Structure 1
Amino acid sequence: MHILDSLVIGAGQAGLSTSFHLRRLGIDHVVLDANPQAGGAWQHRWDSLTMADVHGVADLPDAPAPGRSHDRANEVVPSWFADYEGAHGLPVIRPVDVQRVEDDDGLLRVSAGPRHWLTRTLVNATGTWTRPFVPTYPGIDSFAGEQWHTADYPGPERLAGKRVLVVGGGASAVQFLGELAPIADTVWVTRREPVWRTDDFTPEIGRAAVAMVEDRVRRGLPPRSVVSVTGLVLREQERAAERLGAYDRRPMFARIEPYGVRWEGGTFEAVDVILWATGFRPAVSHLAPLHLRSEYGGIRLDGTTSVADPRVQLVGYGPSASTIGANRAGRRAAVAVSGFLGSDGLTAAG
């Protein structure tokens, strides 16, 4: 079996950036992507999300991102990714759903059903989209109405005229309320009081937020999102919802019942839909055989390098989960791979 110098899992923004830099460094590699076509998680986002709604898409190396428009993000970004793969000749193989990565006498064996690859190093760029998180609450299985998560949000038309309970304190919840409040009856609940940012989001603030998330992964703690540090911002398209009182947040309910939720004080709230904007968890279960997790539950990183196994790089994890961070992490991971191969006396040609 041909032994690769490196293998990238995932062809989203972080994976494409990594592949670009690996290719530029002359490192023999392939990119395995679980999706049947280019686009990463963007191809799965809801139809009502336009390029004017997204919170920002960073440039890929040598390729400026599409501008703001009213075109669907789940079409524009995948098309951009596909063009990028072709223009740079990136070695993407799809669809390949990796189930397991394990040590094989000093190499890394990557398994996807009956198919296997052997590689000296690995860059994991699987992101979070395939691991939606829904918290467990008493009675959750008894609810007779609709339950949706950000990952399968059907769009505002499906929920128009209904009473919708939006759960979650992040940017997605704010955006959902912005488009639902004018056409539906919404209630917003979060575990913590939302932190709103009213000042300008400067580059210095952004760097400080990323540094706080980096500190968590450096210590091996489960990563938090950058927005949990930066706070929330209302954009112009969400002002109508604000005037309707959509952002008057309520604390979490005590339990879910067939036709609504019950608050701690015993008051019942009837709802037709529960929309869980409760985030995602890193999609890293396939790395479990490598025992990368620290005693605190996260994967301890030095930059993008796993402290437990320096053959492994993680991008799109923790501070690099945003598109901006993903680009920087891709370059950093490629340089780290090159350094590892060099320190082991290996050449880029194998």
Structure 2
Amino acid sequence: MRDNSVVIIGGGQSGLAGAFAARDAGLRPVVLEAGERTVGSWPEYYDSLTLFSPAGYSGFPGAPFPGDPDNYPTRDEVVAYLDRLAAGLDAEIHTNTRVTAVEKDGTGFLVHTDADVQLQTSAVICASGSFTNPHIPDIPGEFTGRLLHVAGYRSPKQYAGQRVVVAGAGNSAIQVAYELAEVANTTLAVRRPIQFVPQIRAGRDMHYWLHTLRLDLLPPSVLKRLIRGTPVFDTGIYSNALMSGLLDQRRMFTRFDGDQVVWADGTGERVDAVIFATGYRPNVAYLTGLGALDNTGMPLHKRGLSLTHERLAYLGIEFQRSFSSNTLRGVARDAKYVVRAIADGRDTARTRLGSV
């Protein structure tokens, strides 16, 4: 490496994990965070959000999540936890600094920011998350009601008495639809039925078994064979809501028609709001000019190491190396892996496109 600096783009959970790993590897991390605090997108999530993993399985190595290990942390508790992590990190951190472009600079990189500041560095780790790049599928027709992604949803209050459709079959979709069903006529629109996984087995939270049986470490190639769709952890309240009729589940609608959604059987129904809980895509548009992305804007990488450039890496991508890659409990493992590869120069052979 030309020197020991590594610029980490993003100061949320992935960026902090990268900074801790870089510091421990003897590198000099420089964290660039677009927001005012190094807590990522957590303050922007909906009010009632809680982790699906208990506190005992939700902390960084050497920094356990405080409180009852069997408790499921809230959004605000996660924010406070990340604040404490950042306060204990001996690293150069710049908040309110948005990266606009990354370009090659000799054997390293030149990182441009919206503050008209340029940083030269030997390595770049992209940990900018995906919350600001929500994915909404292309649905034919136009909708004249309220249409939003779950990224813009906060609480059910403003939907009281309305007809609401939540599109999606993951954890966020069912959690939001369930609380909406208490105040509104709510339907889950899904492409395949929700796959419920018991939160508790044999008196233990499912994350105990994921950890004990090392299922959390399964690589994406194995996961693709074992998992179809998104498993939803359930204590029984969500499946009971569907069985009791409190919450409705229907096959995904096919198009919009003014203030209506047109269901798979061809019938139209007027609805007040459609909320898409259809995931996110990595927010790495600043790499477009570098040639590190495919034609859909997704990073070209293997296990978080770029396939196009040496000393360019990623953190926080879903299923990057395992089932837990983009979670509090798993991102530190990925951070240690990519940082060691960069520090030791072991990413060179991996960064030839086509060597997957």
The TM-score normalised by the length of structure 1 is 0.83
Question: 1:244–1:271: structure 2 CA closer, same or farther, 3 Å change rule?
Answer: farther
Identify which of 320, 326, 350 aligns with 1:321: 326
Letter in 2 for 1:178: Y
In 2, Cα distance between the equivalents of 1:111 and 1:243? 53
Letter in 1 for 2:311: R
Question: Does the 8 A contact of 1:133 with 1:278 survive in 2?
Answer: yes
In 2, Cα distance between the equivalents of 1:261 and 1:205? 45
In 2, Cα distance between the equivalents of 1:283 and 1:104? 22
Question: Does the 8 A contact of 1:33 with 1:96 survive in 2?
Answer: yes
In 1, Cα distance between the equivalents of 2:3 and 2:46? 39
Letter in 2 for 1:36: E
In 1, Cα distance between the equivalents of 2:191 and 2:217? 23
* Aligned equivalent of 2:26: 26
Q: What's the CA shift string for 1:228-248, capped at 9, x where partnerless?
A: 656223235536633542554
SS of residue paired to 1:99: strand
In the TM superposition, residue 85 of structure 1 has moved relative to its aligned partner by 1.2
In 2, Cα distance between the equivalents of 1:17 and 1:91? 14
In the TM superposition, residue 304 of structure 1 has moved relative to its aligned partner by 2.5
Range that drifts further, 64-73 or 87-96:
64-73
2:200 is aligned with 1:193: no
Question: Does the 8 A contact of 1:205 with 1:230 survive in 2?
Answer: no
Question: Does the 8 A contact of 2:4 with 2:26 survive in 1?
Answer: no
Letter in 2 for 1:127: G
* Aligned equivalent of 2:174: 174
* Aligned equivalent of 2:241: 241
The TM-score normalised by the length of structure 2 is 0.82
2:98 is aligned with 1:83: no
2:272 is aligned with 1:267: no
* Aligned equivalent of 2:41: 41
In 2, Cα distance between the equivalents of 1:161 and 1:107? 57
* Aligned equivalent of 1:257: 257
Letter in 1 for 2:125: V
In 2, Cα distance between the equivalents of 1:332 and 1:342? 10
Unaligned runs of 5+ in 2: 320-324, 349-356
Q: What's the CA shift string for 1:193-242, capped at 9, x where partnerless?
A: 333335944327985576353679xxxxxxx9x98656223235536633
Question: Does the 8 A contact of 1:182 with 1:244 survive in 2?
Answer: no
In 1, Cα distance between the equivalents of 2:301 and 2:109? 19
In 2, Cα distance between the equivalents of 1:317 and 1:150? 19
In 2, Cα distance between the equivalents of 1:229 and 1:265? 23
Letter in 2 for 1:123: I
In 1, Cα distance between the equivalents of 2:279 and 2:268? 26
Question: 1:177–1:309: structure 2 CA closer, same or farther, 3 Å change rule?
Answer: same
SS of residue paired to 2:7: strand
Range that drifts further, 74-83 or 204-213:
204-213
Give the number of the structure with larger relative contact order, counting CA–CA contacts within 8 Å between residues 6 or more apart. 1
In 2, Cα distance between the equivalents of 1:205 and 1:310? 35
SS of residue paired to 1:102: strand
2:338 is aligned with 1:333: yes
Which protein has the bigger helix share? 1
Question: 1:145–1:36: structure 2 CA closer, same or farther, 3 Å change rule?
Answer: same
Counting aligned pairs with the same residue, the percent is 28
Q: What's the CA shift string for 1:81-130, capped at 9, x where partnerless?
A: 12211123232211111111110222211111211111101111112111
Question: Does the 8 A contact of 1:108 with 1:122 survive in 2?
Answer: yes
Question: Does the 8 A contact of 1:206 with 1:230 survive in 2?
Answer: no
Pairwise CA RMSD: 3.1
SS of residue paired to 2:99: coil
Question: 1:206–1:176: structure 2 CA closer, same or farther, 3 Å change rule?
Answer: farther
Question: 1:251–1:209: structure 2 CA closer, same or farther, 3 Å change rule?
Answer: farther
Aligned pairs for 1:303-322 (under 5 A) are 303-319=303-319, 320-322=325-327
* Aligned equivalent of 1:221: none
* Aligned equivalent of 1:348: none
In 2, Cα distance between the equivalents of 1:65 and 1:184? 35
In 2, Cα distance between the equivalents of 1:62 and 1:189? 41
Question: 1:227–1:247: structure 2 CA closer, same or farther, 3 Å change rule?
Answer: farther
Question: 1:70–1:317: structure 2 CA closer, same or farther, 3 Å change rule?
Answer: closer
Aligned pairs for 1:85-100 (under 5 A) are 85-100=86-101
* Aligned equivalent of 2:354: none
